[in-house]
Amino acid sequence: MLINLALWALPGIVIIVIALRTLLFKADIPDIPADISSSPDVQTAARHLGEAVQFRTISHDIPELTDWNEFTKFQKWIAETYPLVESRLKKTTVGNFTLIYHWEGSDSQLDPILLTAHQDVVPPGDEESWKYPPFSGTVSEDGYLWGRGTLDIKIQMISLLETVEHLLQRHFSPKRSIYLTFGHDEEVGGKDGAAAASAYYQERGIRFAFLLDEGGAVADNMISGFSLPFAAVGVAEKGYLDLELSCSQKGGHSSMPPTRTALGYVSRAVARLEKRQFPLSLTAVPREMFKRIGPFMPFYYRIILANLWLFKPLFLLILAGGGAGNAMVRTTTAPTMAAGSDAPNVMPSFASVVVNFRLMTGSSPEAAEKRVGKVIRQDREPIAVKRLMANTPSKVSPADCREFTLLSRTILQIFPGSVVSPYLMLGGTDAVKYQNVCSRIYRFCPYHVDASELDRIHACDERISLDNISKSVSFFTQLIENLENSL
C-alpha cells in the first residue's frame, strides 16, 4: 500500500523539483563601468590598421611560396609606427619572423602575462569579387575598414601595439611583466612561429599567469533562443585528425566490373562512418557554458537546462541536430577529399578518401583511429587507414580563477550587457602551442559582431567597424590597467 502511494506521488515530486530548479535558475549581468584613464586615439588606430592590412603577409603550407619580403616590410613598418614599443621593449625574433616583445614589470616576483596575435593572413581568394580590394585598407562611408586580416587578426595585433605605445607615451610602467608575441604562420599550423616562441619561453623558465590569444568574440544571435550579446572566451580547443582511407583492387576497363570495386569499398567505409557517428557527450566546458547562458534563455530552454539531471539525453539530441551544437558535443566526422580513376570508363586500382575528425576534449587521435577501424570493419574489409595529421585536444583552462574573473570583468566594462562564458573552440589557434608555459590560456577577440560578419573571416569582404576598432583598443588598455589593481 505504502509503495503504491509512493509510486503515485513520484511524478508529482519530479514535477515540483523541475519547477523549483527552473525558478531558481537565475543570473544577473553585473554592471561594471569602464575605468580607463585615457584611451588611444581611434582615428590613429584605424589609420594604422588600414596601413597594416596593405602588407600581403599571406602564409602558405609550403614556406617557399610565402613572400617573406612582405613580412620584412611589415615589421619595418611596425618599428617605425610604434617608436616607443621599439625602443623601450626588448624585441626578439624567433623562427625567423615571429616577434616577441618584453615589457619588463617593476615586480619580478609576479608571473608575467602573454598577449598574442598573428601577423599572417589567409589568401584573399578571387580579389575581383571583393567590394573593395582586399589589401587596400579602404574605409567606407558607413564606417567600416575593409581588408584581409581586419578581423583575423591584425586588429588584435594593432590594438595591442596601439595600447602599449599609448601607455608608454603616458609613462605608464607595469608592475607585472607583459610579453607580446606575434606569430607568422598561425594560418598554416604555427609550427615554426608559435612553436618557436613557446620553446623560447620554456628554455628561459618563463611561465605565464595567463595568456590571451584570438578566439571567441562578443557575438549576436549565435545560439538559437539566446538573444543577448554572447562574450565567448575559448578555454579549450578540439583536437584534429585527418585519416586517409584507401583500397587497392584490380582496376581496368569498366565494362566488366567485379561486384566490389576499390571505390565501392571506400564508399562503404564512408557510409558506415556517417551512419555510426561518434557518441554524444556533454563535457565540462559546454556544460558550464549552458549553465551561464541558460538563465537568459526562453522558458522552455530554462526548464531543460536547469534540469539536466533529467533532460540531458534530450538536450544532447537537440544539440546533435547539426552545425555548431553537434560539434560541441561529439567528435565530428567530415569526409573531405576523394580520389578514384581519371576517366569515366576506367576502374581505379587505388581509391582513397580523406576524412577529417575534430576530436572532443578528453579523447585522443589514437582512440578515434581505433574506433574508425572498428566502424569500417577493417578486420573484414580491404581498407587501409593512414594517419595524415593529428593534434590532441587541448587541455581545459579554468573558468573559476582570478585570471578568468579579471578577463570577464574587463569584457563587461567594454561590452556592457553581454553574458561572458567559457566555451569550447571548434577550430584551432596558436594558443595550444603554449600549454607547456601556461595553464590559463584564454581565447577572445574584443569585438562585437554577428554571424554575417564572422562569415567574412577567411572569405570575401572581411571588414571591421570603426566602433569595433575603438572597442578593441579600449579593451586592451582596460585589461592592462586592471592588471595593476586586480591580479
Cell numbers 575559448: residue: 234
User: For residue 208, what are the CA distances in angstroms to 132, 256, 287, 422?
Assistant: 40, 66, 27, 20
Nearer to Zn ion by C-beta: 185 or 214? Answer: 214
* By CB under 5 A, residue 117 contacts Zn ion: no
Q: Smallest distance from the beta carbon of 142 to Zn ion, in angstroms?
A: 25
Work out the number of other CB atoms within 10 angstroms of the CB of residue 16.
10
Residue 371 CA to residue 429 CA, distance in Å, equals 26
Q: Smallest distance from the beta carbon of 414 to Zn ion, in angstroms?
A: 21
- DSSP letters of 361-404? TT--HHHHHHHHHHHTTTTTS--EEEEEEEEPPPPPPPSSSHHH
Q: Smallest distance from the beta carbon of 314 to Zn ion, in angstroms?
A: 36
Nearer to Zn ion by C-beta: 152 or 462? Answer: 152
Nearer to Zn ion by C-beta: 150 or 410? Answer: 150
* Binding segment toward Zn ion, per CB under 5 A, in 49-57, 151-159, 272-280, 438-446: 151-159
Q: Smallest distance from the beta carbon of 213 to Zn ion, in angstroms?
A: 9
Q: Smallest distance from the beta carbon of 112 to Zn ion, in angstroms?
A: 23
Work out the number of other CB atoms within 10 angstroms of the CB of residue 389.
12
Q: Smallest distance from the beta carbon of 22 to Zn ion, in angstroms?
A: 39
Strand partners, 146: 463
- Choose, from 152, 165, 186, 430, the residue flagged as catalytic: 186
User: For residue 228, what are the CA distances in angstroms to 55, 218, 385, 414, 415?
Assistant: 36, 10, 45, 15, 11
- What nine digits make up the cell of 221? 544571435
- Closest listed residue to residue 273, CA positions, set 371, 385, 340: 371
If residue 463 lies in a helix (H) or strand (E), which one and from where to where?
A: strand 463-465
Nearer to Zn ion by C-beta: 116 or 163? Answer: 116
* Binding segment toward Zn ion, per CB under 5 A, in 94-102, 131-139, 153-161, 253-261: 153-161
Q: Is residue 120 annotated as part of the catalytic site, yes or no?
A: yes
* Binding segment toward Zn ion, per CB under 5 A, in 144-152, 315-323, 384-392, 478-486: 144-152
What's phi and psi for 62, nearest 5 deg?
A: -95, 110
- Residues between 205 and 244 with contacts to Zn ion, criterion CB under 5 A: 214
Q: Is residue 126 annotated as part of the catalytic site, yes or no?
A: no
Residue 318 CA to residue 85 CA, distance in Å, equals 50
- Residues between 421 and 460 with contacts to Zn ion, criterion CB under 5 A: none
Binds Zn ion by CB under 5 A, chosen from 78, 139, 153, 297: 153
- What nine digits make up the cell of 347? 576502374
Residue 11 CA to residue 23 CA, distance in Å, equals 18
Nearer to Zn ion by C-beta: 214 or 242? Answer: 214
Nearer to Zn ion by C-beta: 223 or 431? Answer: 431
The answer to whether the beta carbons of residues 232 and 418 sit under 8 Å apart is no
Q: Smallest distance from the beta carbon of 216 to Zn ion, in angstroms?
A: 12
* By CB under 5 A, residue 152 contacts Zn ion: yes
- DSSP letters of 294-353? GGGS-HHHHHHHHTHHHHHHHHHHHHTTSHHHHHHHS-EEEEEEEE--SSTTEE-SEEEE
Q: Smallest distance from the beta carbon of 187 to Zn ion, in angstroms?
A: 6
- What nine digits make up the cell of 209? 599567469
Nearer to Zn ion by C-beta: 152 or 192? Answer: 152
Nearer to Zn ion by C-beta: 188 or 360? Answer: 188
Strand partners, 91: 101
3-state secondary structure of 149: coil
Nearer to Zn ion by C-beta: 192 or 214? Answer: 214
Q: Smallest distance from the beta carbon of 427 to Zn ion, in angstroms?
A: 9
- Residues between 179 and 198 with contacts to Zn ion, criterion CB under 5 A: none
Size of the residue set binding Zn ion (CB under 5 A): 3
Provide the H-helix boundaries in 57-193: 68-81, 83-88, 154-169
3-state secondary structure of 19: helix
Residues carrying an active site annotation:
120, 186
Question: Interface with Zn ion by CB under 5 A: which residues?
Answer: 152-153, 214
